[in-house]
Chains A and B, each alone.
Chain A
């Protein structure tokens, strides 16, 4: 895990240092003196060797100092923490939607296996899966932003609203404060990017969980439950689901990291003020410290998600629990 993070840090560092563009040149007005350029290079540590720069940066990171953004002239960690909650809220809402849609479709499909309903779910999930979040986002913008303009297609919250928030977790805070007007406004902005992110994952969950459910439904203990007089839906909900969920869980973990990665372009598409949107600006402005900080935070998120999945798997799997 730490090796992975270290590897990511090295790769990003090397990739952006070989970039031909000079960030300092972009900051200064034309006609700046050589002395000014040299002073600024020294200020950002760009006059040292690559290896020196890397270890200075790494030592800083380990002390919680990610450096100073070149384009925004603010502390990178502060900028990242300012934007991260927006991305986390979006990704979490998307994940919950994906699970809700996916599990419902899987149960429906397993319940009516062998019928046209199952075939329909197969076709729908296959097609949904093949279309990436970027295209879903555009489809949603057209459908619900232009054709039937019910949702907002840009931003995180309506700018005219008076925001009482003390943290950046707007949605969590408005739920805690029971401010339903704000919850509604936030969800209106979040719904479409979240659905765009959720659909491909929902399709994967539907396919995989349905398959495992169908396998579990032929096992003796399920047959016994059926003989006892439980209805098919009860059998699935009470007996089959728990055991069928395990293989899906592992995959959902990996796919959730893809979903988090997808926020980058989806946030851009919907002008949602999250980490991904800031990352693209950072790349366009050649803001090296900011790019490094953001990529590392994304990598940390990915690693943490995988860790959480491993732990949940161990917790839920009876063989590992008692072993």
Chain B
């Protein structure tokens, strides 16, 4: 692990870059009403498809241009970040709690619990995840909570598989045996000894999952199945941009850059944290 070596001392550059972008985006989303230069929903057909500020025909105050209904792109991106981060935190945390708990139980206790949980994971893995998400949201009805539930219901297996494998290898280690001899109960050992050792993996996966959740939300709003169509989301802006790609490329380019930076940051941040907090690597 070359990367682990560099990040042993202090914060690595990638942790800084990734964390920096996430904090910036999160702050912008949190203070959206104060920061956004325009009302993200205000339509003005006199201002439709304005280009970004460095091109001819741009209007001041509309930095990244406008979409085909004359709505300010920058303001929509800032407000869209709110949905993205709410979904990222809520969905990833839920998936993490469900998956880690089941993975810990399956890996540490083994036996029929393991067989049962692993069987469910197998069944879940045989679903195309995007189709599963679209199906669930269609069933649950569009809305923020449906999106969060759908992601949690689908992606818990990511945590479950990794944590199960880690808990299994931890359960065979000497320290677990010593704790047992020292008189700790099985659940006590699982929570006090095994859990802290699998935590770095959980944290890395959690960060990665937040990026995935942002993407899934974008995909769902892309097929028009996320939250109500009025509120701007990164996916709905992308869907709009895909349609007007030949007339106004910026409507697709800016949300795409935002999404890529956010997803890259979540995954790099997770990897960086893992390298930093892994007791073995440290």
Contacts and interface: CB of A to CB of B under 8 A. Distances in A.
Which of B126, B212, B219, B238 is most buried by chain A, counting CB atoms within 10 A of its CB? B126
Contacts of B123: 4, 7-8, 11
Interface string A291-320: 100110011001100000000000000000
Given A135-B256, A135-B260, A298 B268 contact: no
Nearest to B124: A11
Interface in A140-169: 141-142, 145-146
A3 B119 contact: yes
Interface string A122-152: 1000010011101100110110011000000
Contact of A283 (B135, B222, B253): B135
A298 B127 contact: yes
Given A138-B256, A284-B138, A291-B135, A299 B127 contact: yes
Given A15-B139, A142-B249, A303 B126 contact: yes
B141 interface: yes
B45 interface: no
Interface residues of B, number: 42
Contact of A298 (B128, B219, B238, B259): B128
B223 A280 contact: yes
B252 interface: yes
B15 interface: no
A302 B128 CA distance: 9
Contacts of A8: 123, 126-127
A89 B13 CA distance: 42
B252 A261 contact: no
Given A19-B138, A265-B219, 8 more contacts: A4-B122, A15-B139, A18-B139, A139-B260, A258-B129, A262-B128, A298-B126, A299-B127
Query: Which 3 pairs of residues, A with B, have the shortest CB-CB distance?
Result: A261-B128, A7-B123, A130-B267
Interface of B: 2, 119-120, 122-123, 125-132, 134-136, 138-139, 141, 211-212, 215, 218-219, 222-225, 238, 242, 245-246, 249, 252-253, 256, 259-260, 263-264, 267-268
11 contacts: A8-B123, A16-B139, A130-B211, A130-B264, A134-B215, A261-B129, A264-B134, A283-B135, A298-B128, A298-B131, A299-B126
